[in-house]
Amino acid sequence: MELQGKRVLITGASRGIGESLARAFAGAGARVALVARGGDSLQSLAAELGGTAYPADLADAAQVAGLIQRIEDDGGPIDVLINNAGIGSTSSFIDAPDDELRRVTELNYLTPVELCRQVIPGMLRRGGGHIVNMSSIAGIMALPGLATYSASKAALSHFTAGLRADVRGWPIGTTLVELGPIPTDLLAESDNYEPTAKSFKRVYRLGLTVDTPRERVARQVVKAVRKGRRHVRLPRRSIPLAMLVEAPRRGAELSLTGVPHQPRR
SS3 53: strand
Whole-model pTM: value is 0.94
The span from the CA of 24 to the CA of 155, in Å, is: 27
- pLDDT reported for residue 20: 98
H-only helix segments in the chain: 16-27, 39-49, 61-64, 67-75, 100-105, 111-126, 147-166, 185-188, 194-205, 214-227, 239-255
Residue 262: per-residue pLDDT: 62
Nearest to 188 by CA among 88, 104, 105, 57: 88
In angstroms, how far is CA 211 from the centroid of its own chain? 18
Instruction: Kindly write down the DSSP assignment for every residue of 112-127, as one continuous string.
Output: HHHHHHHHHHHHHHHT
Residue ranges of the chain with per-residue pLDDT less than 70? 262-265
Predicted local distance difference test score (pLDDT) of residue 190 = 80
Q: What pLDDT shows up at residue 76?
A: 97
Question: Residue 52 has what DSSP assignment?
Answer: E
Output phi, psi for 129, to 5 deg.
175, 175
SS3 letters for 191-207? HHCHHHHHHHHHHHHCC
Q: How many angstroms from the chain centroid is the CA of residue 253?
A: 22
Residues marked as catalytic: 149
Q: Which domains are present in the chain? A: 7-252 (3.40.50.720)
Sign of the C-alpha dihedral, residues 229, 230, 236, 239? Answer: negative
Which residues make Cβ contacts (< 8 Å) with residue 134, sequence separation at least 6?
17, 82, 83, 84, 86, 177, 179
pLDDT at 264: 58
Order of all β-strands in the sheet with 7-11: 52-55, 31-36, 7-11, 80-83, 129-136, 172-179, 231-234
